[in-house]
Amino acid sequence: MTDKVLYLGDTALNAAASYLAGVMLHCNIPFDYIDSATMCTDEQLDQDYCAVIISDYLSTRFRPEHFEQLIAKTRSGTGLIMIGGWESFTGLGGDYHSTPLAEILPVEMQDTDDRVNSFSPCMIRLEAEHPITAKLPFVTQSVAINGYNRLCAKPTAKTILSVKRYCVSFVDDDFEFSEQSVDPLLVVGQELNGRVACYAGDVAPHWAGGFVDWGDQRHVLQARGAGEVEIGNWYLEFFGNLIKWVSKQI
């Protein structure tokens, strides 16, 4: 198996995909890219990737037989990540809940639109220790996102991060926070020999919110063919760890 990743979606390499492309550049993770408007092909799925990332990529961009191929590759050891967005999970036409891929994802998806677009803070909360989140200050330096796909973890899966959504009001010259909901944000599982992860938030604005800037250092990165991005070092480490974990590099 090669150390190369297949990355599908996030509009285009010079658009939203610039963020994850920048992460992989910094982490020395080679990748092939398919933009959101392009159909996946047999030739691409036939390659021996260490992991496949699906992010804001319509399920209709795969042919029906591709799902069985993805399932077989995952069970043989290829890592699989689905990252949230309007065209991920159920989303607004993502419709992965009605595909065979739902069988191996570690989450249960809704039958209807699962998007949570929030103008109030959605705080990330650490639920369990894991190599993906190791040494990252989720407890001491809490961070917020602006949206996510609402999912439920399967009984056999492990929830590493959750997202707590608040309603905020201004009372007696101070802000008052009231909890609205708590949902899984990062859920991981094992499918025979393959590791599988679902991150319900987005890697890029607008859903990513302050997560893009999370860190005490900043990195300006530009992968080949991608736009330039400026991101926080803890954000960078988190998504790098996510890819490395499903690829069995950590």
- On the question of pLDDT at 8 being above 80, the answer is yes
**Cα 128 from Cα 17, distance rounded (Å):** 29
Per-chain mean pLDDT for the chain: 97
DSSP 8-state assignment for residue 241 = H
pLDDT in tens, 154-167: 999 999 999 999 99
pLDDT in tens, 69-116: 999 999 999 999 999 999 999 999 999 999 999 999 999 999 999 999
138 Cβ neighbours under 8 A, 6+ residues apart: 124, 125, 126, 161
The amino acid at 188: V
Residue whose token pair is 């604005």:
205
Q: Report pLDDT for 188.
A: 98
The two three-digit tokens of residue 8, written as one number: 């599908």
Mean pLDDT throughout 8-21?
A: 98
- On the question of pLDDT at 1 being above 80, the answer is no
Q: Report pLDDT for 31.
A: 98
Q: Are 80 and 196 in contact (CB under 8 A)?
A: yes
The two three-digit tokens of residue 220, written as one number: 């300006």
HEC readout, 66-89: HHHHHHHHHHHCCEEEEECCCCCC
pLDDT in tens, 110-147: 999 999 999 999 999 999 999 999 999 999 999 999 99
Long-range Cβ contact pairs of 175-179 (< 8 A, separation 24 or more) = 177/121
DSSP sequence for 36-50: TTS---HHHHHS--S
Cite the beta strand spans of 19-157 per DSSP E. Answer: 31-34, 51-55, 79-83, 107-109, 115-126, 144-149, 151-153
**Cα 10 from Cα 79, distance rounded (Å):** 19
Q: Report pLDDT for 66.
A: 97
Q: Report pLDDT for 11.
A: 97
Mean pLDDT throughout 217-241?
A: 97
Q: Report pLDDT for 2.
A: 82
Which residues pair with residue 5 across a beta bridge? 31, 51
Q: How far is CA 130 from the centre of its chain?
A: 16
